[in-house]
Amino acid sequence: PKPIVAIVGRPNVGKSTIFNKLTGQRLAIVEDTPGVTRDRIFCDCEWNGHQFLLVDTGGIEPNIDDGLLMHMRRQAQIAIDSADCVVMVTELTAGVTPQDIDIAGMLMRSGKPVVLAVNKCDSVGEPPLELYDFYSLGIGEIIPVSGVHGHGTGDLLDAVLAHL
Ligand code: GDP
Ligand code: MG
């Protein structure tokens, strides 16, 4: 069976945008409304001759007593449990949020290999200083990406494949 790579993170950080960029197809729904991607979406991918299944998920929004958000968190936990490697997505502009810290905790407890994609790094050149704040999440591997422009997505896939 092909290894499974799951993309998780709180709503609106750009998971579906990255998924679309990586798969080259507009399969996932990209929306300004947080949490629009409510169910998992799968796509067969290949990178450097390695095949894997990429999974987009709805956002994880821990500790909020809301039916839809609980459902999305459950979906994300299922995705994490079934994944061989997880791409956690955060956004540069928002910095490290309490939800990011909770999700990083979920991932830590899962024991799965994790690569952190700090999205919305839209400008090319030197990595912005704010990038280094994300090391506080305790995920050793941080890749700056721009889902919209596609910057960093090759580095992200290289980092993921190293775990498969
Ligand atoms: P999701 O909820 O995590 O799946 O987030 P979406 O992929 O639906 O994106 C949420 C919003 O962030 C949309 O308005 C996207 O256009 C925007 N967005 C996603 N990636 C980037 C990026 O790399 N740069 C910028 N500036 N905006 C982005
Ligand atoms: Mg989405």
Nearest by Cα to 131 from 49, 120, 98: 120
* d(C-alpha 86, C-alpha 112), whole Å: 7
Residue 148 Cα to ligand 1 midpoint, Å, equals 7
In this prediction, the answer to ipTM > 0.90 reads yes
Residue nearest (by alpha carbon) to ligand 1 atom 9: 14
Tokens of 152: 């960093």
Position 52, amino acid: F
User: pLDDT by residue for the chain (164 residues), tens digit each?
Assistant: 899 999 999 888 999 999 999 988 666 666 655 555 555 578 889 999 999 999 888 655 555 556 666 766 777 788 899 999 999 999 999 999 988 998 899 899 999 999 999 999 999 888 899 999 999 999 989 999 999 999 999 999 999 999 99
CA 147 – CA 127 distance, rounded (Å)? 16
Q: Which helix (H) or strand (E) holds 19?
A: helix 15-23
Identify whether the C-beta of residue 69 lies closer than 8 Å to the C-beta of residue 61: yes
Place of tokens 């839809």: 68
Phi, psi (5° rounding) for residue 24?
70, 15
Please choose from 10, 15, 17, 149 the residue to mutate so as to test ligand 1's pocket, defined by most ligand atoms within 8 A of CB. Answer: 17
Model pTM score: 0.90
List residues bridging with 55 in a β-sheet. 6, 42
The full set of domains in the chain, from first to last, is: 4-161 (3.40.50.300)
Please say whether the beta carbons of 80 and 107 come within 8 A.
yes
